Amino acid sequence: MVIPNRILMPAMHLSMVQNSFVTDQLVEFYAERARGGAGAFVAGYGMVNDDAGSGIIIGAHRDEFLPGLSRLAEAMKRGGGRAGLQLNHSGRYNFSILLGGRPSVAPSAVRSQFTKEEPRALATEEVQRTVQDFADTAQRARKAGFDFVEILSGTGYLISQFLSELTNRRTDAYGGSWENRMRFGLEIARAVREAVGADYPVLWRINGNDFMPGGIGRTRMQEYAVKLVENGADAISVNVGWHESRVPQIITQVPRGAFAYLARGIRERVGVPVIAGHRINDLATARAMIADHMCDLVGMGRALIADPDLPRKIAAGRENEIIHCVACAQGCFDHLFNLQPVECLCNPRAGHERERRIEATPAPRKVLVIGGGPAGMTAAATAAQRGHRVTLCEKEEVLGGQLLLAGLPPGRDEFQVLARDLEAQLAAAGVAEVRMGVTVDEAFLDRERPDAVILATGAEEWAPPLDGADLPHVVGAWDVLRDRVQTGPRVVIIGGGAVGVETALFLAEKGTLSGDMVRFLLINRAEPLEDLYDLATRGVKDVTLVEMLDRIGPDIGRSTRWGMLQDLERHHVKTLAKTRARAITPTTVVVEDATGTREIPADSVVLALGSRSRNPLEVPVRGRGLPYQIIGDARKVAKAMDAIHEGFEAGARL
C-alpha cells in the first residue's frame, strides 16, 4: 500500500455514532480531514462483538453496519489518502451500565481501577471465539471498502489484558508464561491474516511501554512486535500506557514527541514501517522524528482535530497558518468522559462540520471588534472570512488576552502558541486592520462609525471581601504568574481552582532543577538518582493551597486534573480542601475547617479567587443604536474553549 505522505491520523474515540451506527456527523468529520490531505486515516475503534464496546462505539461486528462503514470509508478517501478501520475489544474497560447491566469480560476477574468494576473471566472457548470475531470483522472491513485494518493491542484493552500479568491470572494455554500470554494476540494476527489474504495490509497498534508498575516494559514490547511481524503484521503503530497509568500521556505538560524513543526501539527490531504518536502537533517535531529515524510515519490525531488542513498547509508552504493542538483535552477527552461528541478548543468547527460552515455574506459591513483575546480574534477572523471589513482593537500592545496568562504556568506554553496562531489567522482571513495599544472610547466610536460591534473586552481579577486583603504582602495570582511581584519563602494561595493550582505549581517549581540540568547531572553521574528526583521536584518555596470546596481543582477537566494534582503532591505543595480563609494577618492566614480555626504562617498571600466580566462599552454602544454582540469573558467568565466558540458564532452571525 502506497500513501501520499507520512502523516497518519490514528483512531480515537469521537462519540459520533448512534447505537453504533455511523452518522452523518462522523462522515463529515472525516471528510473534512480527508480534504486536508493527510496520507492515511484510521477510524475507530470498531467493535468485534457485542461485548467489545457499546452503543457509543462504531459497530463493525455485524453486516447491518456495512452501509455506514462503506460511507465512512469513502469519505476518508476523498482527499487521496488511505482509509483504515481499527478493530478492538475493550475487555474490562467496558462499563456494565453500557452493556445493559451485564459485566464486562476479561482474561481474569481482576477489578478495573478505570471502571471500578470486576469483570467476568472469559472461558477458553470464548477466547477462541473472540479470535474468530477479530478475523470476521477484519473481513467485513475489507468488504466495506477500507484499504487496511489496524488491530489495537495496547492502552490496556483486551489484548493488552491478556499480555499483562497484572490482569491475566489464567491457568490454561492463554495464561502463565510470556509465551502463553502472547498467544491470544498472535492467534488473532494469524486468523486476521488468513481472513483478509496476503495482499491486504494489517497494522498493529501496540504499547511501547504499559507505564504500569509490574506491567510490560519496552524490552518485552519489542519482542512482542517482532512476533507480530512474524505472524502477519505489515506495520506497527506505537502507543503508550493504560488508562490507569499514572504517567501522563496526552496532556499539555507532556513534551512534544515525548514517546518517540519507544517507536525507535521497536523500529530497530522490526523490518516493517513504524508509526509514532502522542503529542506530535507541529511540523518541526514530526520532521525531526522521521529524519532521525525514530519512525517512518507520524500519528497526528488531535493535531488534525485542531487543524484538518495541516497537511495541505505544509505542502503549500503555509506553515505559519497552522492551528496547533494545545493538548488541553477540554473538547476531546473531557467530552468523551461525559459521553458527548468530540469538539475542540482550538477549532470551533470540529464536530460541527455540517452546521458551522463559513459562507460569504451577501451584505458586507464595517465591523469593529473590541478586544484581542481568543474570543475577539476568532470573531474577527470569522467575520473577515465571510467578507466583512473588520477592524480589531486591543488596548494592550500584544494580542492574546487570557491565553498569554494561561501559557505562563509550567508546561502550559502551548497556550501562548495558540495566541500566536490566532493572530496569524487574522492576516490569513483578511482582517483589514489590527490596532494594538488602542483604548476604544466614545470618541473613537463616533469617529469610526462601525456598522456593527463585537464586544470582547474580557475579564478582570476579582476577590470577595476578606479581612487583611489590603495588606502589602497580599498579591493577585495574575501578577504572580506575570512575575510582576515577588513572593516570600512561605506562600499561602487562597483559592484552589484552576488558577490557584497553576499558580501553586508555578511557585513550587521556583528553584528546582531544569530539564537541561537534570540531563547534565544524570549523564555525568554527578548525583544519585533519588537526589536528582528531589532536586527536580523540591523548590525554594513552601506553598500551601487553600480551597473552601470539598476538592482541589473542581473546575479542571477530568483528563488533566489528576495529573495536576499529582504534580502538586510531587512538588510538595500542601493542599487544604474544605477549608475557608477567614482573615489575613501580617504573618499568617487564619483558616477554618471542620476541626476549628487555626493560623498558617505566610510571608506572602496570593489571591486566586476568580475574575469577573469587564464590559465598560456596552452602554455607549447601545446608546448609539449600533448592533452589537458581547462574547467571551466579557459576557460570562468561562473557559478558553467557550470564548473561541462564541467568537466563531458571533462572526458567523454577522
The predicted-structure confidence for 259-305, as pLDDT tens digits, reads as follows: 999 999 999 999 999 999 999 999 999 999 999 999 999 999 999 99
**Considering the domain 368-460+612-653 in this protein, what is its CATH number?**
3.40.50.720
In the 8-state DSSP scheme, what is residue 575?
Answer: E
Which cell goes with 550?
470539598
Spatial neighbors of 578 by CB under 8 A, at least 6 apart, are: 547, 548, 549, 550, 593, 594
Which cell goes with 326?
494545545
> What integer pLDDT is reported at residue 339 of this predicted model?
87
pLDDT band at 318 (very low <50, low <70, confident <90, very high): very high
Angle, CA 218 vertex, CA 217 and CA 220 arms, to 5°: 75
Q: What is the domain partition of the chain in residue ranges? A: 7-337, 368-460+612-653, 474-609
If you classify domain 7-337 with CATH, what class do you get? alpha beta
pLDDT > 70: what percent of the chain? 100
Question: Mean of the per-residue pLDDT values for the chain?
Answer: 97
Mean pLDDT of the 601-613 span: 97
pLDDT band at 369 (very low <50, low <70, confident <90, very high): very high
Q: Cβ atoms within 10 A of the Cβ of 438, count?
A: 17
pLDDT band at 337 (very low <50, low <70, confident <90, very high): confident
For the stretch 491-521, pLDDT in tens is 999 999 999 999 999 999 999 999 999 999 9
Cα 341 from Cα 319, distance rounded (Å):
29
133-137, 199-203, 245-249: least confident range: 245-249
Phi–psi pair at 44, nearest 5 degrees: 140, 180
pLDDT band at 602 (very low <50, low <70, confident <90, very high): very high
Pick from 251, 134, 152, 241: nearest CA to 196: 134
Q: What is the pTM for the complete model shown?
A: 0.95
For the stretch 32-86, pLDDT in tens is 999 999 999 999 999 999 999 999 999 999 999 999 999 999 999 999 999 999 9
SS3 for 177-234 is CHHHHHHHHHHHHHHHHHHHCCCCCEEEEEECCCCCCCCCCHHHHHHHHHHHHHCCCC
pLDDT band at 161 (very low <50, low <70, confident <90, very high): very high
CA dist 69 → 23, 242, 536 (Å): 10, 28, 50
CA dist 297 → 254, 290, 606 (Å): 20, 7, 47
3-state secondary structure of 444: helix
pLDDT band at 7 (very low <50, low <70, confident <90, very high): very high
Cα 284 from Cα 565, distance rounded (Å):
31
* Strand-strand pairing, 274-276 and 235-239: parallel
Q: Select 474-609's CATH number: 3.30.1200.10, 3.50.50.60, 3.40.50.970, 3.20.20.70.
A: 3.50.50.60
Spatial neighbors of 97 by CB under 8 A, at least 6 apart, are: none
Which residue type is seen at 69? L
Mean pLDDT of the 375-391 span: 99
For the stretch 391-449, pLDDT in tens is 999 999 999 999 999 999 999 999 999 999 999 999 999 999 999 999 999 999 999 99
Cα 605 from Cα 77, distance rounded (Å):
57
Mean pLDDT of the 376-399 span: 98
